[in-house]
Amino acid sequence: MSVLVASIGFGLISTSILAIAAVGFTLQFGVTNVFNLAYGSVMTGAAYAAYVANQFGVDIWVSMVLGGLFGAALSLLINRGLYTPFARHGLGLAGIIQVTLALGLILENGLQAIFGPSYHSYQMSQGPSFHFGSMVFTAVQVGIMGIALASMIGVHALLAHTKLGKAMRATAADAPLARSCGIRTEFVTDIAWLLSGLLCGIAGVILVMDLQSFTSTTGSNFLVPVLAAAVLGGIGQPYGAMLGALIIGMVSEVAAAVTLPQYKEVIAFVILLVVLLFRPRGILAEVASLKEVVA
C-alpha cells in the first residue's frame, strides 16, 4: 500500500512536468496547426541555456526563468525564420512535419556537437525533504509542483479572462474568420509561439532539475510522453492537455509500482492507443478537422 501511495507522489511530479510541456505544445498547435516535432529539442536547448547561466553562478530558479525566456525566443525565431517561410512557400501539412523533424534532429545534434555527448548536472541542492504520509518530496519537487499549478492557473486566466486569450481561441477555431473580424492573427501567432516556447523552456529546465542530469537527447526522449498527453486530451485543447498529462503521468508511475518498472511508459502509451481507437480525436476534442498551417 505504501508503495502505491509513494508512486502517486512520483505521479504528481511527472504530471507537473508533463502538464507544462503538453499545454505549451497544444496551445501552439491549436493556434497554428504546426505539429512541432522539434519541441523536445527546444526543451533540451532551454535546459542547456539554464545550464550555462547556472555555471556562471546564477541561482537555479533564476536560471529556470532564463531557460524559459530562451525557449520563448528560440520558438519565435524558429517560426519566423523557418516554419512560416516554408508554409508560405507552399509546403503542406505533411511537409511541415518533416521540416520540424529535421529541425529537431539539427538542434539535438548541434547541441551534442557543442556540449559533447556526456551528461551534465546543475549546481543546486534538492533542499529539505517533506513527508506526506508515505509520499516524500524534496523542496525542489514541491517547487516544481507549485510552478506547474501556477502555470496552469495562468494559462486558464489568460484564455478565459483576457482579450488576448479570446483572440487566441478565435484564431484556433477559425483563422481566416478571425482575421476578417479584425483580429491580428499574425500577432496572435507570435504570442502563441512565445507562450508555448516559455512553457517549453520551463518544462525543459524543471525536467532536468527533477532528473538531476541530462544530455542532448533528454528533451527529445521526453517528447513522446508530451505528445501522448496532448493527443490523449484532444490536441489543441489546453484543458485536455492538462487532463492527458494527469492520466499519462499517474498511470505510468502507478503502473511502474504495480507491474514492471521498465514498462511504465509502454503501459501509458497503450492506453493512449486504445483511447484513440474509440475517440480518434482525443477525450475532449469536439471539432478537430484537418486545417492548413496558419502562418
The reply to whether 286 sits near other proteins by the rule CB under 8 A is no
Residue from 21, 22, 228, 275 touching other proteins (CB under 8 A): that is 228
Residue 116 Cβ vs other proteins, minimum distance, rounded to whole Å: 6
The reply to whether 110 sits near other proteins by the rule CB under 8 A is yes
CA-based torsion, 18, 20, 25, 27: positive or negative: positive
Written as nine digits, the cell of 82 is: 523557418
Coil, strand, or helix at residue 77? Answer: helix
State the Cα–Cα distance between residues 201 and 74, nearest whole angstrom.
9
State the Cα–Cα distance between residues 102 and 287, nearest whole angstrom.
30
The reply to whether 99 sits near other proteins by the rule CB under 8 A is yes
Cα–Cα nearest to 187, from 207, 168, 159: 168
Length of the chain: 295
Pick between residue 138 and residue 217 the one whose CB is nearest to other proteins: 217
3-state secondary structure 224-239: HHHHHHHHHHCCCCHH
The reply to whether 112 sits near other proteins by the rule CB under 8 A is yes
Written as nine digits, the cell of 63 is: 536560471
Residue 23 Cβ vs other proteins, minimum distance, rounded to whole Å: 17
Pick between residue 170 and residue 230 the one whose CB is nearest to other proteins: 230
The footprint of other proteins on this chain (CB under 8 A) covers a number of residues equal to 45
Residue from 95, 134, 169, 210 touching other proteins (CB under 8 A): that is 95
The reply to whether 83 sits near other proteins by the rule CB under 8 A is no
Give the binding range for other proteins (CB under 8 A) out of 66-74, 179-187, 203-211, 258-266.
Answer: 258-266
Coil, strand, or helix at residue 119? Answer: coil
φ/ψ of 181, rounded to 5, equals -85, 5
CA 75 from centroid of its chain's CA atoms: 12
Interface ranges with other proteins (CB under 8 A) = 35, 37, 82, 86, 89, 91, 93-95, 97-99, 101-103, 105-106, 108-110, 112-113, 116-117, 216, 224, 227-228, 231, 235, 260, 262-263, 265-266, 269-270, 272-273, 276-277, 280-281, 288, 290
